[in-house]
Amino acid sequence: MFNKRFLVNLKSILTGNLAITDRQKYSVIIYSVALVHLFLTCLFGYFKVKPLFIFNIISVLTYLSCTRLINKDIFLLVYYITYLEIVLHSFVATICVGWQYGFAQYLIAIIPVCYYMCYTMNTKHRKIVIATGSALFAVLAFLSCKVLSFYFVPIYELHLKSLELILYIFNSICTFLFLIIFSLTFVFEMNLSSKQLRHQNAILDKLASTDPLTGLYNRRSMDVFLTQALKSGSSFSVIMCDIDNFKKINDSYGHDFGDIVLREIARITTDQVKGNGYVCRWGGEEILILISNLAKEKVCRIAEDIRRNVANHVFQFDTKWIRCTLTLGISTHDKQDTIEETITKADYNLYVGKRNGKNVVIY
């Protein structure tokens, strides 16, 4: 069970699975370090280096016990335990067998780990202070191990050049693997942060540009589209729509029913305009449509299709149902006019339609 979970978590990190949790991440770190110490336990047991044999047994048990702290999300304590164990192990290994086996290299690998773990931990402490302090102490410990190797003869002389080479290569590989894994994890999490930021910006843009009730563009967005249409120099028309007797619907059936009517009419309108322009909730029950590069006859046909589909639609809410109608006023932009004047003409045509029985399209 342990091996399977460890391999799954490690695969998630290496393949950039952005859904990996902090628990999985720290579990991979702890189990990886525990495996290294398990190998060293067997090695030093075979060569009868008793202090390092005992130290590595204690290290393995300590790391395995850290899994309980990880399950309780006590990551800061796990960090301190890991850091202290690596520093102590470097000193003990240097004193027992010497500098040449490369155990002090782990102090180099721990520096980026300090910054990464402190940065990702959810703690109120000063993360940069903890990380920098840990990194500086690791540098000091590394140099101290080197100084020790000059002034003290190792307690155990193994007298095996092949073992010295093998251990040095093993420790170097482990050091570089840890550096690579943490670098990859950092890159993946940076990509995750960028994607989340882009996603949040897209949501904010949508909230800023659309009407929350109907999903139509809001007035601010339509102002941008109208300005763009004017600057392009192409022909465009605007259709001003107003729901007939909408106040009566709200008063008689309630605002919830009124909201359903607005949403359904917004959907019908969007379906008819799709690909030819933009639909905006201009205010209250008014909808403004911008259609570019279409002949007047086609604009009128779209407006008539909207009117007919709304008139034929049955609006339902619980056991209640009604029919309602739409009056539409159309105006094609004249290059001598401003946008406001074009909208005013469409609004005037809408007014004419209201005065002449409603449920009509006036051009």
As a whole number of angstroms, the distance between CA 192 and CA 180 comes to: 18
Closest by Cα among 116, 306, 286, 141 to 216:
286
DSSP codes, 95-118: HHT-GGG-GGGHHHHHHHHHHHHH
Q: What are phi and psi of 325, to 5 degrees?
A: -125, 170
Give the CA distances from residue 190 to residues 144, 193, 224, in Å, rounded to whole numbers and listed in that order.
Answer: 35, 5, 34
Catalytic residue among 285, 286, 297, 304: 285
Is 340 among the catalytic positions? no
Closest by Cα among 50, 165, 142, 150 to 96:
50
As a whole number of angstroms, the distance between CA 210 and CA 201 comes to: 14
Longest Cα separation, the chain: 108
As a whole number of angstroms, the distance between CA 294 and CA 277 comes to: 10
How far the first Cα of the chain sits from its last, in Å, is 75
Catalytic residues: 285
